[in-house]
C-alpha cells in the first residue's frame, strides 16, 4: 500500500510540475500616447465601455453589475469573443481629471491593468496617455507578450489615434453637414 501511495504522490507531483511549468507567468508594462483634435472633455468619454462602441470594431460589452453599464467606479462588465471573454472592472473614472483605470481578467490567458489619462492641450486638442500592465499565463503567454512588444504597442497607439480621429471627423460631418467636408479643387 505504501508503494502505491508513493507512486500516486510521485504522479501528482509530476503533474503539478507540468501544470506549473505551463503556467509560468510573464509581465510587461507599456505606455504610449497620441494627440487628438478635440477637447479633453470630448475625448475622455470615448474611453468608456460605451464610448468605445463608437470606434472599436466588434466591441460589445455586457453588464455584470450594475444591470446597465455606467462609466463609474466599481462597474463590472464582460466583453470578448472567439472563446476569450474577459471580465472588466472600472477601478476609477475621474471626469474632473479625465482619468480612467480598468482591471481586466481573461481567466485562461491574462490579467491587465489599463490606465487612460486625457490631458488638455488647448480648447480643441488633447493628448491621450494609455498605460497597460499585462500579466500573461498559460500556453499562449508568449504570443500575448509578442502582442505587447514595444513595436506592437506603438502600432496599437497609432491605430487608436487613426480610428478615433476618423470617428471624430465623421461625427463633425454629421453635426455640421456636408459643407464641413474639405473642399478640393476640380481639375479640368
For the chain, the structural domain boundaries read 25-176
Residues in the chain: 188
- Give the pLDDT confidence score for residue 152 in this predicted structure: 96
- Give the pLDDT confidence score for residue 140 in this predicted structure: 84
Look up the pTM and report it: 0.79
Within 8 A by CB and 6+ apart from 178, the residues are none
- Give the pLDDT confidence score for residue 1 in this predicted structure: 54
- Give the pLDDT confidence score for residue 137 in this predicted structure: 94
Ranges of residues in the chain whose predicted pLDDT is under 50: 2-21, 181-188
Map residue 182 onto helix, strand or coil.
coil
Q: State how far the Cα of 42 lies from the Cα of 44, in Å rounded to an integer.
A: 6
Burial 38-70 (b: 16+ CB within 10 A, else e): bbbeebbbbbbbebbebbbeeeebeeeeeeebb
Query: 25-176 sits in which CATH class?
Result: alpha beta
Task: Determine which helix (DSSP H) or strand (DSSP E) holds 4, and give its type and residue range.
Answer: helix 2-22
Strands 99-106 and 84-94: antiparallel
- Give the pLDDT confidence score for residue 186 in this predicted structure: 40
Amino acid at each position: 500500500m505504501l508503494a502505491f501511495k508513493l507512486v500516486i504522490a510521485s504522479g501528482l507531483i509530476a503533474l503539478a510540475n507540468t501544470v506549473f511549468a505551463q503556467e509560468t507567468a510573464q509581465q510587461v508594462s507599456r505606455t504610449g500616447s497620441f494627440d487628438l483634435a478635440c477637447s479633453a472633455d470630448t475625448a475622455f468619454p470615448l474611453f468608456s465601455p460605451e464610448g468605445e462602441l463608437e470606434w472599436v470594431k466588434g466591441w460589445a460589452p455586457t453588464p455584470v453589475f450594475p444591470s446597465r453599464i455606467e462609466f463609474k467606479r466599481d462597474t463590472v462588465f464582460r466583453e470578448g469573443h472567439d472563446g476569450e471573454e474577459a471580465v472588466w472592472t472600472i477601478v476609477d473614472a475621474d471626469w474632473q481629471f479625465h482619468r480612467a483605470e480598468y482591471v481586466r481578467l481573461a481567466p485562461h490567458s491574462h490579467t491587465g491593468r489599463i490606465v487612460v489619462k486625457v490631458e488638455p492641450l488647448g480648447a480643441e486638442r488633447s493628448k491621450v496617455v494609455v498605460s497597460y500592465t499585462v500579466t500573461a499565463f498559460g500556453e499562449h503567454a508568449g504570443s500575448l507578450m509578442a502582442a505587447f512588444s514595444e513595436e506592437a504597442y506603438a502600432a496599437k497607439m497609432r491605430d487608436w489615434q487613426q480610428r478615433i480621429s476618423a470617428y471624430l471627423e465623421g461625427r463633425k460631418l454629421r453635426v455640421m453637414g456636408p459643407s464641413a467636408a474639405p473642399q478640393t479643387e476640380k481639375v479640368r
